[in-house]
Amino acid sequence: MASEEELFANIDALLDEEPQLPPPAERARLREAAGITQARLATALKTTTQSVKNYENGRSEPRSPRLEAYQRLLNGWASKYPVHSTPTPRPTRAPQSAPPPQQPPAPQSAVPAAAPVMPIAAPAPERPARTAGAPTAAPAAAPAAAPRRPAAKKAAQPAQDPRFPHGPLAVLDGDGSAYGADGIVLDCPARTVPELVEWTLGESGLGAARLNRYGKDSDPLIALTATAAVKLGLPEHLEGHEQRRSLRLPEDHPVVKQIAKARWQLTRRGFGPWARIYRKVQGRDRQCVQLALLSWDALDERSWPGVTDMEPADIARVLGIYAQRVITPRGSTAVSGLELMTALRPPTKAVQDPETGNWVSGYNAGSLGTEPMDPAPPEATPEHPVVVNSGWTGGFLNEEAYQWVRPVDSLTDEECTLPYAVGLDLNTAFLAAAARLVVGLSAPDHFDAPKFNPKIPGSWLVDLSRIEPDPRLPSPFTPDGTRPTGPAWYQTHTVAYAQELGHDVHPIEAYLRRETGAYLDPWHDRLKTAYVDTLADLGVTRDLDDRRFLAAMERHKQLDPALAAVLSAIKATVKGGVGKLRERPQGKSYKEGDRWPSLERPTWRPDIRAAVISKARVNMHRKLQNMARMTGLYPLAVLSDCVVYPSPGDSPLDFLPYAASGKPQPGGFRLGPTPGLAKLEGVQSMLWAVDLMEKDLNPARHIKGGDAVLDEGE
């Protein structure tokens, strides 16, 4: 006879199961019976036509919240068009042929629903002073330049979590108006920071559901305008430090004392531009609020261009769209990029102890776990304790992005007489490299003279100096494009590329990892969708031909500055998140060999950063080589994901390879809006480019008309 505890556990397991979709072929039958095209369904689900095709042929499954929306639609169609009423257009495939659907966030029954909110003021569109930038109830809706999308506005809204009826965040102004992400305006009566925290947790209805069923809900975010900060007793600006990251209130500041007196706590970074205020967890209830002080430069202008100067309602719209598509901001975009990795791959999950039957915290397969892991000596930085304490002198990985300028004496007369230098920029090259990237999940093991295996992630000591590169192309093995001078440490992808080019490789030694996995896959998928969807909302869609794509890219930032800022933040999240995997020590007081705070988190993984950058650089070199083979053209310079070519015209269309049919040739650079494809970076004269090259300056850094920022987030 089953006990009550066992029965309740079984029921809870059923409640936690993810929504079940009908077999792929049945999904297609129902859509066709309703007379809806795949393109129209894609618009309603806020995805791509190819994704809908994948849903209907079993290649992929939607994820939450799209999963629940798709299930609701299919259930509605199923009741209207039962199997006997419509001929099945194709043979039904077995349900097991489809991969299991992604698990949506499970409800936290222990967390109470939001308390009644304060009176809601009129929506932003009705406030005359802010009509121009007022957010709408569907922040993902397309701008006016894309008229084919409005019909999908309602269907495109994310599933509403009843615990967080007012979205993930709000922007608080000095008059007590808290502008939500979906256009509502809440009345916030708080006059002190502790009162603001209490109101946010008890009455605002703000927050966001976890991104993985084993993760944690996002803490509500309140962004404070300058007037709101002053009203709460905070200085309008915080000054007195050379480095922005060091800004914080002194411990004897009245607001810091108020927080302590109310029995709230600040994290170790104190009260700075991003302040986290919390109480220790009671049971399963989490009590934590994050504040972002806009006048303290919480939103870096490089990542969030123009946002701080926007009206509060517009700031809420920008941050809200980012929160919906990426994650509720938790600091800089680099910090948010790193936090997103953990949110999508939580380190632990509930497992049942076989001896006691109790549910305990256990390792979540595919994650990095909860404990920090020391790197192999060649993967570390020179100041790392592993290096200093061991006296390591065997060299280090140097897997960095390209910074290469072609020797001027390798230019031909024909190249010098071409009128233009045209720069191409690869969309989120690091994100493209993260796709299906297998990385190590366990500690490194040392091997002497191992046989090279391209499927094992790790670091290999190999002599690639005998491989002579074409002087018109950068070496694929070094960031500066020069030929290696002897044995050096390389990440797996770099050595595999040497093998791909036909060279026999014989590692001298290696540090390899036995447990592996595609840790970054969910991170890649979410950021790719965010990037592509945001570009599409700006009128840059996948169905554009190359000429229309270039035209759309030329004007996309002017269509909607708010969405353009979201796009910039998404790109900064990718690059900064990868950089954070090897964050270096900060501060003048640091001494070599001491541990620094970043080393205490499991996501300090320089080997994963090296894998991403190595793959990105290899991808770039492969395209450069294919371009030379197909067109006879060689680059003038490369900077990270930007390459400059001599061109007979002022457009990429004048030199990119196309087939007789007009389609782009595979293997070279191709124009398009998805990660890994290219866009126009800038155009200058060939004389301008040669002049910079003669001065040992990189044309790729200046081709856009200003310095390119190579920011790895370290």
- Which whole-number Å values give the CA distances from 123 to 130, 154, 172, 179, in the listed order? 10, 17, 15, 9
Task: Please indicate, yes or no, if residue 654 is contained in any of the structural domains.
Answer: no
Q: What is the pTM of this model?
A: 0.78
The neighbouring-strand residues paired with 509 are 448, 461
Number of C-beta neighbours around residue 327 at 10 A: 23
Query: Domain total for the chain?
Result: 2
Is residue 197 assigned to a domain?
Answer: yes
* Residue with tokens 């790197």, as numbered in its chain: 375
126 and 70 together in one domain: no
Cα angle value 71/74/77 (rounded, 5°): 150
Shared domain for 90 and 128, answered yes or no, is: no
Residue 292 covered by a domain: yes
Same domain, residue pair 67 and 146: no
Same domain, 317 and 233: yes
- pLDDT tens digits for range 539-570: 999 999 999 999 999 999 999 999 999 999 99
Distances, alpha carbon 702 to alpha carbons 310, 408, 689, in Å: 29, 17, 9
Q: Any bridge partners for residue 692, and if so which?
A: none
Give the span between the Cα atoms of 701 and 422, in whole angstroms.
12
Domain for residue 531, yes or no? no
pLDDT per residue as tens digits for the range 27-52 = 989 998 888 888 889 888 877 777 78
Final residue belonging to a domain, choices 330, 363, 385: 330
Q: What is the mean pLDDT of the chain?
A: 86
Residue range 659-699, pLDDT digits in tens = 988 899 999 999 999 999 999 999 999 999 999 999 999 99
Using the 3D structure, point to which of 312, 330, 348 is the last residue of a domain: 330
Q: Would residue 283 count as lying in a domain?
A: yes
Q: Does the residue 597 lie in any domain?
A: no
Given a cut of 80, whether residue 533 has pLDDT beyond it is: yes
Residue 629 pLDDT exceeds 90? yes
Same domain for 157 and 215: yes
Residues 297 and 237: their CA atoms lie apart, in Å, by 9
Tell whether 205 and 59 lie within a shared domain: no
Would you say residue 208 has pLDDT above 90?
yes
What is the residue range of 169's domain? 120-330
pLDDT of 161 higher than 70:
yes
pLDDT category of residue 587 using cuts at 50, 70 and 90: confident
CA 498 to the chain's CA centroid: 29
Residue 351 covered by a domain? no
Contact (CB, 8 A) for 327 and 218: yes
Provide the 10 A C-beta neighbour count for residue 372. Answer: 15
Whether 157 and 31 share a structural domain: no
Could you tell me the CATH number of the domain that includes residue 58? 1.10.260.40
Residue where a domain stops, chosen among 330, 363, 395: 330
Q: Are residues 91 and 187 in the same domain?
A: no
Residue 127 resides in a domain: yes
Indicate the pLDDT class of residue 713, thresholds 50, 70 and 90. Answer: very low
The residues pairing with 292 across neighbouring beta strands, listed in sequence order, are 223, 274
Same domain, 73 and 137: no
Whether residues 207 and 273 share a domain: the answer is yes
